[in-house]
């Protein structure tokens, strides 16, 4: 039976492990060994990781792979990807190579505005609230100067603050809806600090606004928080080539490939069941680079999926067309990313990943990440509409199955050779291992 515990966070790391091992595991020795096996031998590095979060007991590894040959706006990139799914990096590399031979990816940042809101309750006359807001707006900005000074020096800061009447949705509910430019920072801390300052000034000054009645003076702040929905922090990535250049083998013509590919995209545009999986494939590429570069993949996920539903129905993030014999495949997505602040200057592997990407600005990183998403979707649709997904997927998954069976290096070599010309299924691999083991 598991137990509750008081003061867990105050315990030392080893005492935390002792308690967990004692409370939850039957093979205590094994559990203890596995947890400690993942500690880094460099104590300073381990301490850095311990201090990222509360109650760290060990490290959780993900493979960091790289996908080379990405030509983006005529610059070559090798893209770092942190991901556990076997086929993702291979698919990205394949798509990169395919488009390298066809002019590469073209990208453009459309906009970089981020949003934050102070949500509040006001019981009274809207005209008076509007009058108070207009009077106080310059003060909201002035009182935030200590927070915004550095960002402003670099060309960013608060863009605007609007008063929004939300009383059609909830009685007495209003917002300060603010927009920000946070340059190379993802900006969550900056935006939230500004919003909390707006809330403080707004609430305090309302108490002194003589036009308000006693009740109207009591503005009730519910919360102040940035929005991870960033439809105005938008990037576009695109590939295009002549339709006849789309085929790289004799089994399918460029025209047939383009027709099927566009049908697949059209299906994801109209059918939410398909759109979710289609976009999941895009996020395979996006999340992997977002994670490798120390950015917040949950924020990106939430924002991207909201954007995919912006017309009231969940739909494809990518689009494709043929015009004048040219096939074009593109995507526009919102991405709030940072290349300064957060983990970017702290995590040694993140620093390395950013250097690998030529130390990008946030705008440059938006473009790289969008390309990783588009490439992933291209690779997935290409497989789905030609060979089917399982061929490539299972080939990459083969090593996982072999590792499950603790195959030796020799066994891996023999079996991998065998499956170069045979279809990989779980049972076929098990059969091959058993056969090999009986023989030896």
Choice between 120 and 378, CB closer to ligand MEV: 378
Residue with token string 């299924």: 425
- Residues of 303-321 as b/e, b for ≥16 C-beta within 10 angstroms? bbbbbbeeeeebbbbbbbe
278 makes contact with ligand MEV (CB under 6 A): yes
Measured distance between the N- and C-terminal CA atoms of the chain, rounded to whole angstroms: 46
Choice between 281 and 342, CB closer to ligand MEV: 281
Q: What is the DSSP string of 226-255?
A: E-S--TTSEEEEEEEEEGGGG--STTS-HH
Catalytic residue among 50, 143, 196, 296: 296
Shortest separation between residue 379's beta carbon and ligand MEV, angstroms: 8
The DSSP bridge partners found for residue 176 are 118, 163
Residue 412, Cβ density class (10 Å: 0-12 exposed, 13-18 middle, ≥19 buried)? middle
Shortest separation between residue 17's beta carbon and ligand MEV, angstroms: 34
Choice between 57 and 276, CB closer to ligand MEV: 276
Phi, psi of 43 (to 5 degrees): -60, -35
- For residue 393, indicate whether it is catalytic: yes
- For residue 196, indicate whether it is catalytic: no
Catalytic residue among 114, 119, 217, 393: 393
Closest-approach residue to ligand MEV (CB): 281
Shortest separation between residue 239's beta carbon and ligand MEV, angstroms: 16
Could you say which of 195, 336, 350, 389 contacts ligand MEV (CB under 6 A)? Answer: 389
Choice between 228 and 279, CB closer to ligand MEV: 279
Catalytic residue among 280, 321, 351, 395: 280
- For residue 296, indicate whether it is catalytic: yes
85 makes contact with ligand MEV (CB under 6 A): yes
Could you say which of 380, 394, 415, 433 contacts ligand MEV (CB under 6 A)? Answer: 380
Going through 169-280 in order, the beta strands assigned E by DSSP cover 173-181, 220-226, 234-242
Size of the site for ligand MEV (CB under 6 A): 9
Phi, psi of 329 (to 5 degrees): -130, 125
Could you say which of 280, 319, 321, 395 contacts ligand MEV (CB under 6 A)? Answer: 280
What are the CA-CA distances from residue 392 to residues 62, 87, 270, 382 (Å)?
Answer: 21, 7, 27, 11
Q: Nearest Cα to 237, choosing from 80, 409, 364, 396?
A: 364
Catalytic residue among 13, 18, 49, 85: 85
- For residue 85, indicate whether it is catalytic: yes
271 makes contact with ligand MEV (CB under 6 A): no
Could you say which of 80, 281, 334, 360 contacts ligand MEV (CB under 6 A)? Answer: 281
Tokens standing for 346? 């702290």
Which stretches of the chain bind ligand MEV, using CB under 6 A?
85, 277-278, 280-281, 284, 380, 384, 389
Active site residues: 85, 280, 296, 393
């Amino acid at each position: 039976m598991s137990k509750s515990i008081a003061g867990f966070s105050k315990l030392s790391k080893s005492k935390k492990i002792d308690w967990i091992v004692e409370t939850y595991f039957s093979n205590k020795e094994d559990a203890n060994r596995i947890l400690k096996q993942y500690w880094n031998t460099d104590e300073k590095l381990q301490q850095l990781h311990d201090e990222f979060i509360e109650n760290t007991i060990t490290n959780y590894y993900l493979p960091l792979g790289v996908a080379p040959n990405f030509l983006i706006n005529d610059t070559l990139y090798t893209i770092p990807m942190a991901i556990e799914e076997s086929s993702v990096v291979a698919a990205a590399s394949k798509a990169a190579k395919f488009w390298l031979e066809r002019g590469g990816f073209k990208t453009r940042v459309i906009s970089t505005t981020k949003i934050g809101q102070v949500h509040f309750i006001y019981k009274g006359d809207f005209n008076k609230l509007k009058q108070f807001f207009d009077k106080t707006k310059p003060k909201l900005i002035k009182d935030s100067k200590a927070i915004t000074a550095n960002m402003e020096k670099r060309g960013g800061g608060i863009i605007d603050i609007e008063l929004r009447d939300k009383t059609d949705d909830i009685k007495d509910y209003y917002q300060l809806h603010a927009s920000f430019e946070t340059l190379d920072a993802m900006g969550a801390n900056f935006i939230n600090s500004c919003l909390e300052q707006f809330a403080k000034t707004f609430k305090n000054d309302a108490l002194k606004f003589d036009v308000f009645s006693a009740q109207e003076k009591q503005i009730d702040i519910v919360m102040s928080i940035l929005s991870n929905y960033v439809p105005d922090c938008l990037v576009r990535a695109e590939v295009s080539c002549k339709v006849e250049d789309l085929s790289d083998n004799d089994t399918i013509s460029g025209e047939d490939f383009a027709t099927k590919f566009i049908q697949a995209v059209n299906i994801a545009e109209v059918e939410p069941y398909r759109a979710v999986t289609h976009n999941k494939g895009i996020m395979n590429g996006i999340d992997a680079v977002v994670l490798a570069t120390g950015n917040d993949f949950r924020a990106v996920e939430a924002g991207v999926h909201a954007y995919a539903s912006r017309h009231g129905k969940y739909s494809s993030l990518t689009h494709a067309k043929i015009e004048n014999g040219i096939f074009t495949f593109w995507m526009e997505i919102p991405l709030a990313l940072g290349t300064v602040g957060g983990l970017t200057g702290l995590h040694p592997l993140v620093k390395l990943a950013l250097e690998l990407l030529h130390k990008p600005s946030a705008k440059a990183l938006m473009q790289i990440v969008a390309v990783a998403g588009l490439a992933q979707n291209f690779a997935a649709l290409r497989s789905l509409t030609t060979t089917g997904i399982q061929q490539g997927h299972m080939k990459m998954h083969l090593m996982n199955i072999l590792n499950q069976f603790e195959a030796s290096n020799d066994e891996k070599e023999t079996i991998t050779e065998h499956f170069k010309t045979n279809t990989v299924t779980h049972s076929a691999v098990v059969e091959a291992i058993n056969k090999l083991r009986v023989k030896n």
